[in-house]
Amino acid sequence: MKLDYLDQLESEAIHIMREVAGQFERPALLFSGGKDSITLVHLALKAFRPGKLPFPLVHIDTGHNFQEALDFRDNLAASIGERLIVRYVEDTIREKKLKEPTGRNATRNGLQTFTLLDTIEEFEFDACIGGARRDEEKARAKERVFSVRDEFGSWDPKRQRPELWNLYNGRIHKGENVRVFPISNWTELDVWNYIRREKIELPSIYFAHERELLVRDGKLMATAGGVIKPEPDDQLVTRRVRFRTVGDISCTAASESGADTLDAVIAEIQATRISERGETRMDDQLSEAAMEDRKKGGYF
């Protein structure tokens, strides 16, 4: 049987997930309610149903997430009958007495690392499956499918293992853990084409809708939940937008769009010359190596 390219990507991702189940004792799947992690859950169900998933779903909630994504997260976990573990950055700030960033464009996004590492330690996770893709950002393009983190959760770009064909080495020392990226070889367009083919449901925030926003530094930022405090030079507007990513509200911008269907979104992505993180993620624009520095510190 001849496989098309989506069949090949799906087969590879399912193989990787089954390798995780076979090689690790305590894996977890990082699930935020965004399109990439929703796709991972869909792939996991294909890999392991009719049995239960061999790992829980885990979300590190900054407290500044879009409500549409949180509602979708909870509803999907309940509908498939799988365990959802949520840990909150707010609790980590209080327990560790962390200093929360303040000022213009302050974000809790970087503080997620502390909560993630604490959660890995609490549940003794030895592998965390994530929805990162190589086309998102240059630091993510450097990482292997099985990415080893040391006992402090740190990633060293110079300490990566070769991955030949479909062979993945999950051997680790005590205290180390592995981040696993089954859709690393996918592009944003691949994900959307797969979502259309598989009829995967998504939060409404991914499709064009009227929304009140702040115009700040040329970006359209959500006013939802009062996370971003308006400043004198901000302009309040109502625009027809959609979100290409649904990360922390404080660092995720909307895109003006009329794409309110899957076909329209795919046509829009085919025409754009800007990557989704390049267009929407303020946290990646803090410095040339912002993502790589966060990853070295233990970030997803």
Are the C-beta atoms of residues 223 and 241 closer than 8 Å to each other? no
Strands 177-180 and 127-129, by their bridges, are parallel
Q: Which of 15, 49, 38, 69 is nearest to 180 (CA)?
A: 15
Per-residue pLDDT of the chain (300 residues; tens, 9 = 90+): 677 999 999 999 999 999 999 999 999 999 999 999 999 999 999 999 999 999 999 999 999 999 999 999 999 999 999 999 999 999 999 999 998 888 888 888 889 999 999 999 999 999 999 999 998 888 888 889 999 999 888 999 888 999 998 899 999 998 899 999 999 999 999 999 999 999 999 999 999 999 999 999 889 999 988 888 888 889 999 999 999 999 899 989 999 999 999 999 999 999 998 888 776 666 656 566 677 777 777 767
Q: Looking at residue 181, what is its pLDDT? A: 97
Q: Looking at residue 117, what is its pLDDT? A: 95
What contacts 92, CB < 8 A, 6 or more positions away?
Answer: 98, 111, 114, 115, 118
Q: Looking at residue 171, what is its pLDDT? A: 94
- C-alpha dihedral sign at 18, 21, 22, 27: positive
Measured torsion, CA atoms of residues 128, 131, 133, 138, in degrees rounded to the nearest 10: -60
Q: Which residues of 47-85 are buried (b: 16+ CB within 10 A; e: fewer)?
A: bbeeeebbbbbbbbbbebbbebbbebbeebbeebebeeb
Q: Looking at residue 282, what is its pLDDT? A: 67
- Give alpha helix (H) positions in the chain: 5-23, 35-48, 67-80, 89-96, 112-123, 138-142, 188-198, 262-271, 276-280, 290-296
Q: Which residues of 152-168 are buried (b: 16+ CB within 10 A; e: fewer)?
A: ebebeeeeeeeeeeeeb
Q: Looking at residue 281, what is its pLDDT? A: 65
**End-to-end CA gap in the chain:** 37
